Amino acid sequence: MQKQIIISRTATDGIISYSKALHPNEAILILQGKTTREQVIIEGLVIPPFALSGPYYSGYSNYYLPFDNSYIGSAHSHPGGSNKPSLADLNRGFYGAVSIIIAHPYEDRTIAAYDRNGNKLEIKITNSS
């Protein structure tokens, strides 16, 4: 069964504004929250440490993403305008339970979520928490 993605309004706005700030570069964020049998609940965002310490470049590696039980996936931006996983995304391997991709111009409607098999997941943005 495919999980439903529940993401708070605050976290959604964080992904949107961070992607806009780094445009035309690719932005990447770690998603913090919890997973249940039916859902992935995204409650917060973490900026990967390497993003702060070096020149930002497109085509990040999962090698740089830290591991923590509360880190349930990643979100990254596609400045090019398609929110489908790229070849690089598929080759990179999968981090956590969900991969969120937001495409330019970075709005609610350009956000998509995928599981590790590349299946598109339903996203629900909530105003709580």
In the complex, minimum distance from the CB of residue 78 to Zn ion, in angstroms, rounded to a whole number: 5
The continuous run of DSSP H or E covering 99 comes out as strand 98-103
Q: Which residues bind Zn ion (CB under 5 A)?
A: 86, 89
Q: What's the token pair of residue 84? A: 């489908």
Closer to Zn ion by CB, 89 or 115: give it. Answer: 89
Which CB atom, from 41 or from 102, has the smaller least distance to Zn ion?
102
CB of 6 to Zn ion, least distance (A): 22
Pairing of strands 111-114, 120-121: antiparallel
Total number of residues shown for the chain: 129
Least distance between Zn ion and beta carbon 86 (Å): 4
**Pairing outcome for strands 98-103 and 71-78:** parallel
Question: Which residue number, 97 or 100, has a Cβ lying nearer to Zn ion?
Answer: 100
Q: Which is nearest to 45 in space by CA: 17, 64, 20?
A: 17
Question: Residue with CB nearest Zn ion?
Answer: 89
